[in-house]
Amino acid sequence: MEVLLFGIAKDIVGASVLAMESFEKRPDTVKELKQELERSFPDFGKLSSLAIAVNSEYAEEGTQLRSGDEIAIIPPVSGG
C-alpha cells in the first residue's frame, strides 16, 4: 500500500510518497487513514476539505483499504 501526496499534503509530510509502515497502526478504512495522518502530522487536522482516492477512484470514509492499493491524498489548490 502506497500513499501519494499532492498539494499542501506533500508540504505537510515533506515527501511525495508515504509508506504505510510509517503509521503505528495500518489503517483499514479511509476514515482510519485520515485519523492516522492527523496523529502523525497534526497539520492535516486543519484541512476542511481533503479528497482521498483509492486506485484512482474518489473514496468515501467507509471505503476499505487493501494491501496493494494506491492511495492519493488530494487537497484543494487555489493558485492560478
Partner 1 sequence: MDNERYQRQLILKGFGATAQQKLANASVLVVGAGGLGVPMLTYLNAMGVGRIGILDGDTVSFSNLHRQVLYVESDVGLSKVDVAKEKLSAQNSNTVLEGYNYFLTKDNALETIAQFDIVVDASDNFPTRYLVNDACVLLKKPFVYGALHAFEGQVSVFNYQKGPTYRCLFPNMPKPDEVPDCNENGVLGILPGIVGNLQALETIKLITGVGEVLSGQLALFDGLGTVLRKIRFSAIPENLQITALRDNYELECAVAPVTSVTALEFQELLELGNPQVIDVRTLSEYEGQRLSVARHIPLTELEQRKDEIDVKRPVYFLCQSGIRSAKGISLLASYFPKATLINVTGGMNQLRSYAATH
Within positions 7 to 46, which residues make up the interface with partner 1, using CB under 8 A?
7-8, 10-11, 16, 46
Rounded-to-integer distance, Cα 47 and Cα 19, Å? 21
**Nearest to partner 1 of 25, 80 (CB atom):** 80
What is the C-alpha to C-alpha distance for residues 65 and 77, in angstroms, rounded to an integer? 25
Pick one of 6, 38, 40, 69: the residue that binds partner 1 (CB under 8 A). 6
CA 61 to each of CA 51, 72, 80: distance values in angstroms, whole numbers, following the listed order: 10, 14, 30
**At closest approach, how far in Å is the CB of 59 from partner 1?**
9
- Select the residue interacting with partner 1 from 49, 64, 67, 73 (CB under 8 A): 49
- Phi, psi dihedrals of residue 65, rounded to the nearest 5°: -105, 135
Strand, coil or helix: what is 14?
coil
Query: Which residues form the interface with partner 1 (CB under 8 A)?
Result: 6-8, 10-11, 16, 46-49, 51, 53, 56-58, 72, 74-80
